[in-house]
């Protein structure tokens, strides 16, 4: 350019200076401006002449004046180096604009002879820089104070940048982590998942994954952290994987505790607390699943319902704690007997179910039930002793796609009752005729409620003979149901149902009132009266109103209390010997006499007999049966008679059917006897005729 003859260098320079966004000035050492480039017009809005007049410290922003004065001094004292600074100058429109200004000491340059300044408008850049600085400061403050930490790693998970908040969150000095690998700090159990998810995230730009993992805290504990990784490997400003890390230990612990308590609740809702076996709810669930599976596989499902024989007697005689131990031992034995995959559940009380799946043949279920029954020939070991407990088992089998879980249970239950009625320790298989039995039980209960109101319950009396005088001295009141369709029903057909349903209380009261009235009539015919025996059920004995009721019945009938004898079975008395003793004492105080019925079938000890205020022992029919047939029965009866006499008790034998039994009893010194051989239970009029004839 310099060699082109057409160009005048000064004119060119001046022309370029016109176009420039820069302003040049020259000033004397006194600070007087002697030159300003015309560009001052469009850069700062002043006419050059006006500018020269104004120029000086007045155009500098008050906050920057110290800087300018330092610069000026520096320029004057050091002619070799340019002095530079950034400061604000006032535009003609009154606004302040940023400039980078360089001062050149050209005092010695003859062409200038002053201090030249060169101001470059950087206003827009300065504003942008300032915004950046503010943002940066904000970011720093945020990171220092945030609960979250941000770390950046490379594609292999090595830390390349860590935010200051890492210290608060994680305990490490941020810079000490650089170069370490995140994976090294993660709990071994959480590593696989982390590797898997991290790798999938690094495949796609900008994709994110959220991972919850335990990380080793600098304080020497595992803590839970939620990390959100974002792939910014391709982003020029980052070139890494950004992880937002947050401590979630408290939440994780709360969630863990909640999960644990949910599991506990679920377990409690589906398991029996005594034996830890699945309960009815869980059993029905599993049964439904088993049926669905059987349907698909064309196999059979067996439901074996077990009930402990005479559990009530065992429980009553040995106490509830022993009863519980027995159930636990039984549960353990059952669990050991079934195949893997079969379910043993407790329905409640002494009822258990074995759910047997995947049976090729229905007969397999029966075979399995027989194995169970046989297994209980061995005694169960309780903490303190051993106990023999047999079980009765009802079996129901579902073929592919047949029946619902509750139908199956109901059928197994009916079969179990059938097994019991056939004489315990047996297996019975459900067949449809059992439905009728269940319906019968229900019908009887409904009809029995009605029978009480309709006065269909009648009392028959069976004579009791004094073996010393052969005279009828007493009678036992036995209830019968005059059923409109089925004729006269004996207690065996309805007493059990009455006890289960609670109707026994009303029946008992009815018999008691009837018997007292009847005995009162006999008392008026015979000077020393005829004693009447009334059976009391366990429920009546437990009724706190019993003594009052008895007193009222005696009072209404006008009967002497010593003519009333209450029979309580041995089993019922020994359930809770202490409570029984208290009730008996109150009965005794009324003057009523007390008999222990079915004696020999329960578990009373000599000591407990002595402590109870009883008057009579009634030897159970099963022993009398053996008289003249079985020497062991004879020995037992003789021993009971002797023991009774030693305790000053009257001893009575029930169920005498043959003359020979009577002879045995006489020779043993038994006091009284009752049985078909001596007279059947009959309406009161029959007994009254008998009383008149003797
Ligand atoms: P239990 O108190 O042991 O009554 C004796 C049972 O033996 C009566 O049966 C009677 O008919 C029967 N029996 C008497 N002598 C002979 C005999 O020589 N041979 C045979 N095979 N049996 C004989 P029943 O009347 O059927 O009563 C059965 C049970 O029902 C009674 O046994 C008693 O436990 C209960 N029961 C009867 N009436 C009542 C009542 O009013 N209230 C309560 N709670 N239970 C009653
Ligand atoms: Mg009786
Ligand atoms: Mg009896």
Contact residues for 649 (Cβ-Cβ < 8 A; gap 6+): 614, 615, 616, 617
Residue 611 to residue 325: CA distance in whole angstroms: 28
* Cα 63 to averaged position of ligand 1 atoms, centre (Å): 120
- Evaluate: CB of 113 within 6 angstroms of ligand 1: no
Provide the pLDDT for residue 500. Answer: 74
Residues contacting 364, CB < 8 A, separation 6+:
300, 302, 356
Q: What is the dihedral of CA 609, 612, 616, 621, to 10 degrees?
A: -50
CATH class of 464-478+504-693: alpha beta
Domain 146-253 has CATH 3.30.450.20: yes
Q: Report strand pairing: 593-599 vs 616-619.
A: parallel
pLDDT of residue 655: 96
Number of other CB atoms surrounding residue 163 within 10 Å: 21
Distance 549 CA to ligand 3 centre (A): 23
Q: Do domains 146-253 and 464-478+504-693 have the same CATH topology?
A: no
Question: For position 25, what pLDDT does the model report?
Answer: 92
Question: Which secondary-structure segment (H or E) carries 370?
Answer: helix 362-375
pLDDT tens-digit profile of 33-48?
999 988 899 899 999 9
Cα–ligand 1 centroid distance for 478 (angstroms): 6
Task: Output phi, psi for 619, to 5 deg.
Answer: -70, 130
Q: Which residues does the chain have with pLDDT short of 50?
A: 1-3
Atom of ligand 1 nearest to the CA of 677: 18
> What architecture is domain 20-124?
2-Layer Sandwich (3.30)
Tell me the two tokens of residue 56: 């000086």
Closest C-alpha among 321, 385, 319, 326 to residue 578: 319
220, containing H or E segment:
none
Asked if 428 and 395 touch (Cβ cutoff 8 Å), the reply is: yes
Domain segments of the chain: what residues?
A: 20-124, 146-253, 271-431, 464-478+504-693
Upper half-sphere CA count for residue 408 (Cβ side, 13 Å): 30
Instruction: Please give the distance, rounded to the nearest whole angstrom, from the Cα atom of residue 574 to the centre of ligand 3.
Output: 16
Q: Is 478 in the pocket of ligand 1 (CB under 6 A)?
A: yes
Using CA positions, which residue lies closest to atom 38 of ligand 1? 478
In angstroms, the CA 57 to CA 55 distance is 7
Let me know if 573 is exposed, middle or buried by CB neighbors in 10 A (0-12, 13-18, 19+). Answer: buried
> In angstroms, what is the span from residue 567 Cα to ligand 2's centroid?
6
What torsion do the CA atoms of 220, 221, 222, 224 make, to the nearest 10 degrees?
-120
What pLDDT is attached to residue 2? 43
Residue nearest to atom 33 of ligand 1 (CA): 535
CATH topology of domain 271-431: Alpha-Beta Plaits (3.30.70)
Is the CB–ligand 1 distance for residue 619 below 6 Å?
A: no
Q: Is any ligand 1 atom within 6 A of the Cβ of residue 673?
A: no
Q: Is 505 in the pocket of ligand 1 (CB under 6 A)?
A: no
With 0-12 / 13-18 / 19 or more C-beta atoms within 10 angstroms meaning exposed / middle / buried, residue 99 is buried
Contact 436, 411 (CB under 8 A): no
**Residue 459 alpha carbon, nearest atom of ligand 1:** 41
658 lines ligand 1 (CB under 6 A): no
- Average pLDDT over the chain reads 89
| Per-residue confidence (pLDDT) for residue 404, from 0 to 100 | 86
Paired residues of 231 in beta bridges: 241
pLDDT at 300: 85
């Amino acid at each position: 350019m310099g060699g082109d003859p057409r160009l005048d260098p000064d004119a060119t320079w001046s022309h370029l200076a016109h176009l420039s966004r820069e302003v040049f000035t020259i000033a004397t050492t006194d600070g007087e401006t002697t030159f300003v480039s015309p560009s001052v017009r469009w850069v700062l809005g002043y006419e050059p002449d006006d500018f020269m007049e104004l120029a000086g410290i007045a155009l500098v922003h008050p906050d920057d004046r110290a800087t300018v004065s330092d610069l000026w001094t520096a320029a004057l004292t050091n002619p070799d180096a340019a002095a530079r600074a950034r400061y604000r100058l006032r535009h003609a429109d009154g606004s302040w604009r940023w400039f980078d200004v360089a001062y050149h000491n050209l005092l010695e340059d003859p062409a200038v002879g002053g201090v030249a300044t060169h101001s470059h408008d950087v206003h827009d850049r300065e504003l942008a820089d300032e915004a950046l600085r503010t943002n940066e400061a904000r970011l720093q403050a945020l990171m220092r104070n945030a609960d979250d930490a941000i770390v950046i790693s490379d594609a292999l998970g090595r830390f390349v940048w860590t935010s200051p908040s890492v210290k608060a969150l994680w305990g490490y000095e941020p810079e000490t982590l650089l170069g370490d690998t995140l994976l090294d700090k993660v709990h071994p159990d959480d590593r696989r998942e982390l590797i898997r998810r991290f790798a999938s995230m690094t495949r796609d730009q900008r994709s994110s994954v959220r991972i919850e993992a335990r990380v080793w805290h600098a304080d020497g504990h595992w803590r839970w952290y939620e990390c959100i990784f974002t792939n910014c490997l391709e982003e020029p400003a980052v070139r890494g994987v950004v992880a937002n890390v947050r401590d979630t230990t408290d939440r994780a612990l709360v969630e863990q505790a909640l999960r644990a308590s949910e599991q506990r609740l679920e377990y409690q809702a589906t398991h029996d607390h005594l034996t830890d076996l699945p309960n009815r709810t869980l059993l029905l669930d599993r049964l439904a699943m088993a049926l669905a599976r059987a349907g698909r596989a064309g196999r059979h499902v067996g439901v074996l319902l077990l009930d402990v024989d005479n559990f009530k007697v065992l429980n009553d005689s040995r106490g509830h704690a022993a009863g519980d131990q027995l159930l636990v031992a039984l549960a353990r034995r059952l669990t050991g007997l079934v195949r893997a995959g079969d379910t043993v559940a407790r329905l409640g009380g002494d009822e258990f179910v074995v759910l047997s799946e995947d049976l090729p043949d229905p007969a397999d279920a029966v075979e399995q039930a027989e194995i169970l029954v046989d297994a209980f020939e061995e005694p169960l070991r309780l903490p303190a002793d051993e106990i023999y407990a047999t079980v009765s088992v009802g079996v129901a089998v579902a073929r592919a796609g047949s029946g619902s879980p509750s139908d199956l249970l109901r059928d197994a239950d009916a079969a179990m009752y059938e097994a019991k009625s056939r004489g315990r320790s047996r297996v019975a298989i459900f067949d449809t005729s059992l439905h009728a039995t269940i319906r019968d039980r229900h019908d009887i209960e409904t009809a029995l409620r009605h029978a009480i109101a309709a006065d269909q319950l009648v009392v028959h009396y069976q004579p009791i003979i004094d073996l010393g005088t052969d005279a009828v001295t007493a009678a036992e009141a036995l209830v019968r149901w005059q059923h409109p369709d089925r004729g006269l029903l004996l207690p065996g057909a309805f007493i059990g149902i009455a006890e289960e349903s609670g109707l026994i209380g009303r029946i008992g009261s009815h018999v008691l009132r009837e018997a007292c009235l009847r005995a009162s009539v006999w008392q008026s015919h015979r000077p020393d009266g005829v004693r009447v025996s009334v059976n009391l059920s366990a429920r009546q004995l437990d009724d706190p109103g019993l003594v009052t009721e008895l007193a009222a019945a005696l009072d209404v009938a006008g009967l002497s209390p010593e003519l009333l004898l209450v029979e309580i079975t041995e089993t019922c008395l020994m359930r809770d010997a202490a409570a029984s003793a208290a009730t008996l004492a109150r009965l005794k105080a009324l003057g009523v006499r007390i008999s222990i019925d079915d004696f020999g079938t329960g578990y009373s000890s000599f000591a407990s007999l002595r402590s109870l205020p009883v008057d009579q022992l009634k030897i159970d029919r099963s022993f009398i049966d053996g008289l003249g047939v079985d020497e062991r029965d004879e020995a037992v009866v003789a021993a009971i008679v002797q023991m009774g006499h030693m305790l000053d008790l009257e001893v009575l034998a029930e169920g005498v059917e043959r003359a020979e039994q009577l002879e045995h009893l006489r020779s043993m010194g038994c006091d009284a006897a009752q049985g078909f051989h001596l007279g059947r239970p009959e309406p009161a009029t029959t007994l009254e005729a008998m009383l008149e004839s003797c």
